[in-house]
Structure formats: structure tokens, C-alpha cells
Chain A
Amino acid sequence: MEKKEKKKKSKSKLWMTVAPLYIFTILFVVGPLIYMLNLSFMTRAEVWGVVKKFTFDNYLKIFEPVYLDTFIESLKLSLATTLITLVVGYPFGYFMAKLSAKWKKIMMLLVVVPFWTNALIRMYGWIIIFRSNGLLDKALIGIGMTEKPLKLLYSYPAVLVGMVYSLLPFMILAIYSVAEKMDWSYIEAARDLGASRLQAFLTITVKLTLPGILSGVVLVFIPSMGLFFISDILGGGKIMLVGNLIRDQLFTTRDWPFAAALSVVLMILTSLIIMLYRKITHVRDLEGIL
């Protein structure tokens, strides 16, 4: 009888430690999600707020060319960002992993320190560089590469640079953490067996760092879909992405249901990518995917 009582006591004690987490998650995560889902099926009221009239219109509206385009543009930008961070971040992370212990620490610090400054403020730094007759123009004119100031600010390239700049550290760290654990003797064995440097890289290094590549891609792609403040500041309001659209619909147009519907769709897209990632990384032989 005593044993049963003791078991009950320890079970309830366990429950007590976990309960606060459950309550927090339900109140602040699940709750708002349900609210948003709910909202997306309502109709917009004339002046302010919502009317509790159930409708699918908000979701249908997304398929209008204007809005569909926005989604496609956002996806294209996210893909471009991901690709560039991969191309730049991979060599960076790889060579960083080959450094001596002392230099590894220094490089790690250099990569992480910018994060201690607010992201918004760092974007303002790019404005100073990109604006007409700003730092970049002065440098290029100075070395004679161009005569007139490039109108880089408030354009697509500027937004792309801003996105890559913000998300690059994630890719670098993802690659670095995998490359660092790699045993270099595998590459030596590959070379010994007849592989050229390129062959060894493609058949061994890339395959072994693939988990890093995949997690880096996910860490960059998902946030990139929602980073609306970068396209705001560096795009000058001319570049409209999903994030901007949602923000506009919410605060300017005050079409809350539509904003909610857009958010739900964005969430579904993100979830699909994560599910795809999980499916891929559970497969043992990744050769088929590549």
C-alpha cells in the first residue's frame, strides 16, 4: 500500500514541475494561434474590427494575382538569400573549422559579436553604405570603377544584401559545427585511394557536412520569409514581401482577417519545410536526394 502511495506522490510531484510549462505554452503560444486561426475565417467590419461572419473569402483572396505574386516574390527572395548564404557561408565555416584552436575562438567572436547590436541598427549601417554618395559610392568612384553614384539604396539588391548579411552567421555556424567534428583522416584516405582534391571534397566532405548544410538552409530560409523590416528599411517600401503585406494589412488597411489568413498560410509553408527537413535528415543514405 505504501509503495502505491509513494508512486502517486512522485508522479504528482513530476506533474507539478512540468505543469507551469504547459500552462505557459497553452496561454501564450497555442492560445494566440487558435485566436489567429479563428480570426482568419471572419469578415472585416466597415470601419474597425471584425464581424463574426464565417467566410473563406480571406483565403480565396490570397489567390488574386497581386497577392499571389507577393508570395512568389518572397519565396524567390528567400531562395536567393539561402543560396547566397550557402555559397558564402560554406567555405567560411569549412575553413574556420580548419583553423588552430586560438584562431577558431577569435573567428567565432568576430562572427557572433555583431549579434550583440540590435539588428535594426545594423540595417541603418547599410543605409549609410548604400545611399547615393554614401560609403560604397565614394569607394567605387574613388578607385574609378564608376562615374556616377549607383542608386543602390531602396532597391532589390540592397534588400538581398541586407538579408544575406543578417542571416549569414546562422549558415556559418551550422556549417562550422559539422565541419569541426569531421575527421580529416577520411579525406586523407580518399586522397590515398585516388581521389583528386575536388573528388574528395564532393564525395566525402560534402556528404559528411550535409547535416550542417541542411540545418543551415532551414535556419536561413524560414526567417527570411518573415524578415519584413529589412525590405522596409533597405527597400524603402518599394519591395513588398509577405511580411510587409501582413504588416500593412494589419496596421494600414486594418483588414485583420486577411492578415490572419496570410499569417496562417505563411505558418503552413514554414511547417511544410520543417517537415521536409525532418524527413530528409532521418533518411540514412542522402545520395538519392542530391
Chain B
Amino acid sequence: MRSYICAAVGGGMEEIMSEVILEINHIMKNFGNTEVLKDIDIKIEEGEFITLLGSSGCGKTTILRIIAGLEVPDSGTIFLNGKDVTNVEPNKRDVNTVFQNYALFPHMNVEENIGYSMKLRKVQKKAINEKVKETLELVQLSGYEKRMPSELSGGQKQRVAIARAIVNNPKVLLLDEPLGALDLQLRRQMQMELKRMQKKLGITFIYITHDQEEAINMSDRIVVMRDGKFEQIGTPTEIYDKPKTSYVAEFVGNANIIHGTTTSIQDGLAVVTAPGGNVEAEINEEQLVVGEDVTLAIRSENIILHLDKSMGGLKSLLKEKSFASGMQKIILEIEDGTEVISSSLGMNTDLAVNSTLYINFNPSHGIIVDLQSV
């Protein structure tokens, strides 16, 4: 199956062909009485860096394990490169995993860990040593061949685990929250290194994380997961600018959720009545009905505050203000008790706690979410 992706490059058109390398068809999985995966369906393209983003327990690790072959789905199929691998043993799939806890074999040194898969296939010792050396260079751990896992730091173990998984050049590499145990600085560094490695090797990466920053920085596509279902699939820009549900809007980026009623629709703008006033939101393709409830998501950085109601907006009370790293964060409460957070650059000393302000925003920043599909 081929899907053609056309990209405009400096005015000209360039065709980039991407083949589907992994097909996940209607996967369902129960553990005991719990439905962990409810109809998971997605086609993953060759060479892409796709991230499963979600909070703990949403089922992302289970999907990974099913792709790796460590779990068998209750129903549905997995096709790798056109072949049905749903019931194929993990050791016979061209898929490798970087485990969350690294799982480096404690009784083998770095060289033996990385060379393990080659040794199983009875590759010549000389060829193994060469490939191991090459891979260690790639993860920037040259010279660490004889170290034992117990002698390595977290970041080093991480890189050995990655080396061990890519040494076979698998079709798909699965990474289960690989940076979770590292400190912030190291994590940011590793994010860039992983991205660089992926681009260089051209291997399809399926990445799991609960950190939205990580997902946005590294991925070609993000899949936001919730309770065993895919909430939304899209590029980082799509997920951020056009979240489809309030969950996605709140999970990725800081979003304020306002509930109101559509009072009129004119020229692509919807006038929404919400507690404390009226606001306007731009309609793109959404089907809105006048008189029906609507939910809007507005990013904190897009909130505009006015001192009077001449510009419209929702009446609110300033509850709290704080200032950190050059950003001013103001917490307001609108009439139905909903909290709205505004974040802006620079410090504003005029605004006082308990003063009345009017919350508004550019209509294009008012994202309509949670539409019931027909």
C-alpha cells in the first residue's frame, strides 16, 4: 500500500513516497475482566517517528508488547511488511524493543549484550566485534565494550539498550518510555540524540511516553491515547493547533476549557454565550447548530485580558498571579467557577488580586472541541 505525500519545497513540488510498514488492525485485548485495548487501528509508515502519548494505564505499553510479540491480542491482526505476524513468536519478528528498565543482561558485559542477537544467529566472532564497535560509536560509547552493566550510569545503560536493539537493523524499533529514569538535562540531550539516530538509520521508531514535550519535540506523528482508545492521531502541529477533544487540548499544551452555547453563526464566526459574557470562535469545518452546547479550548498564551467589557469577553475574578522564568501566570475564575489560566511574557504589576477582568481571545484561537461526530 502506498500513500503519496506531496510537500511543497521552496515553491517546487517534491514527491515523497512512504510505504506502510506496520498495519495494526482492530486490536482488542483484555486482561481478566479489564478491557485494556478497545479496537486499536492504525497504519504506520516506513521511516516515521511515531509516538504513543498518554497517561499511565491507557494501554500504550500493551500495544507495544503486542507488536513485539510478547503478548497476543484477543482479536485483530498485525501485518509487518505485508506479512501477517499476529501469531508469530517474538524471536521471529523483525522488531526489536528498548525496554523501560533497559533489561541489560547482568551477567554479560556491554559487548556481549549488544552482540547477543548476532551470536544466536551464529555470526562470525570477528564480524560481531566489528558491528558492535560500529554501533557503540553511533551511541557515543566507544571503548565501553568490556564494562559490565552494573558499572554503567543510567544514561549509559540507556544507550547500550538502544545499541543492542538497533544492531540488527530491525524494520521497526519499539521504545517504551526509554528516557523516563533520566534527569531533565540528560533527557533533553538524549531526545535530540535519538532523533538524530533515527534520521540517520532510517528505522521506523514507535515511541511511548507520557511527556507531551517529548512527543512534540521528537515525533513525525503523535497518537494521543486514552483508556485503551486512540483519541487523536496527527502531526505535532495538528495535535497542538487543532485538538479534537478537550482531553487532547488539555493533555498537550495548556488549554482552558470553556463550556457555552452557540447563539449565532455569521461569516464563519460563531458567537458563544458562556458564563459571564460572549466570545467569538472561528469555524473551520465544524458543523455547529445554533442553540446547542459547545466546548471551546483556548491556549493560556492566547488569552487576552481587558479591564472593561467594551471588547466583549467573559467577566472573571483574578484569583492568583505568579511570575517565573519571564512568564506571568494569572489564574482567573469565571462565573461558573471554571478556572482560566493566562500566561504572557513580561510582568504586569497593575493587575491586583480580586480585581475584575474580562477574558477574551482572537477568534482563530478559539478551538471547537468535543464535537459529536454524526
**Which A residues are closer than 8 A to B by beta carbons?**
183, 185-186, 188-196, 199, 203-204, 207-208, 285-286
User: Is the C-beta of B96 less than 8 angstroms from some C-beta in chain A?
Assistant: yes
* Stretch in B102-110, B131-139, B211-219 touching the partner: B102-110
A188 (CB) vs chain B CBs: closest residue:
B70
The docked-state distance in angstroms from the alpha carbon of A186 to that of B117 is 13
B residues 59-116 touching A (CB-CB < 8 Å): 68-70, 89-91, 95-97, 99, 101, 103, 105-107, 116
**A194→B105 contact, CB < 8 A:** no
B120 at the interface (CB under 8 A from A): yes
13 other contacts beyond A192-B91, A199-B91, A203-B116, with CB at 8 A cut-off? A188-B90, A188-B99, A189-B97, A191-B70, A191-B89, A192-B70, A192-B90, A192-B96, A192-B165, A193-B164, A193-B165, A203-B120, A207-B107
Q: List 11 A-B contacts (CB under 8 A).
A: A185-B103, A186-B103, A186-B105, A191-B70, A192-B70, A192-B165, A194-B120, A195-B91, A195-B116, A196-B89, A203-B120
> What residues on A are CB-neighbors of B70 within 8 Å?
188, 191-192
Judged by a CB distance under 8 angstroms, whether B121 is at the interface is yes
**CB within 8 Å for A208 and B106 given contacts A185-B99, A192-B90:** yes
Cβ of A237 to closest chain B Cβ, rounded Å: 48
Specify which chain A residues have a CB less than 8 angstroms from the CB of B254 in the assembled complex.
Answer: none
The interface residues of chain A lying within 8 Å CB-to-CB of B107 are: 207-208, 285-286
In the bound complex, residues from chain A placing their C-beta under 8 Å from that of B96 are 192-193
User: Is the pair A188, B103 in contact by a Cβ cutoff of 8 Å?
Assistant: yes
B156 CB-CB contact with A under 8 Å: no
Smallest CB separation, A164 vs chain B (Å): 30
Question: A194 to B90, alpha carbons, bound, how many Å?
Answer: 7
CB B176 to nearest CB in A, in angstroms, measures 10
Point out residues on B near A: beta carbons under 8 Å.
Answer: 68-70, 89-91, 95-97, 99, 101, 103, 105-107, 116-117, 120-121, 164-165, 168
CA distance A103 to B68 in the complex (A): 30
Question: DSSP majority for the A interface?
Answer: helix
Give the docked Cα–Cα distance between A278 and B97 (Å).
38
Interface contact B99-A199, CB-CB below 8 Å: no
- A286 CB to nearest chain B CB (Å): 8
Give every chain B residue within 8 A of A193 (Cβ-Cβ).
Answer: 91, 96, 116-117, 120, 164-165, 168
A193 to B117, CA, bound (A): 5
**For B117, what are the chain A residues with a Cβ–Cβ distance below 8 Å?**
193-194
Q: How far is the CA of A193 from the CA of B90 in the complex (A)?
A: 8
* Interchain CB contact under 8 A, A192 and B68: yes
Other-chain contact of B105, A199, A204, A285, A286 (Cβ < 8 Å): A204
6 nearest CB pairs, A to B: A189-B103, A193-B117, A185-B103, A191-B90, A194-B91, A194-B117
What residues of A have a CB within 8 angstroms of the CB of B97 in the complex?
Answer: 189, 192
B contact residues around A183 at 8 Å (CB): 101, 103
Contacts of A188 in B (CB 8 A): 70, 90, 99, 103
* A-chain residues with CB within 8 Å of residue B105 when the two chains form the complex: 186, 189-190, 204
Residue of A nearest to B174 (CB): A192
- Bound together, the chains give a CA A107 to CA B120 distance in angstroms of 36
A193 to B96, CA, bound (A): 6
**Which residue of chain B is the closest to A207 with respect to CB atoms?**
B107
A287 shortest CB reach to chain B, Å: 9
A186-B105, A188-B70, A208-B107 known; A196+B99 contact, CB < 8 A: no
A195/B99 in contact, CB under 8 A: no
Task: Give Cα A196–Cα B120 distance, bound, in whole angstroms.
Answer: 9
Q: Is the CB of A194 within 8 A of B103?
A: no
Q: How far is the CB of B161 from chain A (nearest CB, A)?
A: 9
B residues near A207, Cβ cutoff 8 Å = 107
Chain A positions within 8 Å of B106 at CB level: 186, 208
In contact, A191 and B99 (Cβ under 8 angstroms): no
Q: Which residues of B sit under 8 angstroms from A185, Cβ to Cβ? A: 99, 101, 103
- State in angstroms the CA–CA spacing of A186 and B97 once bound together: 12
Output the nearest chain B residue to A199 by Cβ-Cβ distance: B120
Q: Which residues of B contact A203 (CB under 8 A)?
A: 116, 120
Chain B residue contacts of A191, Cβ below 8 A: 69-70, 89-91
A58 to B267, CA, bound (A): 116
Instruction: Chain A residues near B90: list those with CB within 8 A.
Output: 188, 191-192
Instruction: Tell me which residues across on chain A come within 8 A of B103, comparing CB atoms.
Output: 183, 185-186, 188-189
The answer to whether B89 touches A190 (Cβ under 8 A) is no
Which of A186, A196, A208, A286 has a CB less than 8 Å from the CB of B91?
A196
Chain B residue, CB-CB nearest to A204: B105
Chain A residue nearest to B92 in the complex (CB): A194
In the complex, what residues of B have CB within 8 A of residue A192's CB? Answer: 68-70, 90-91, 95-97, 165
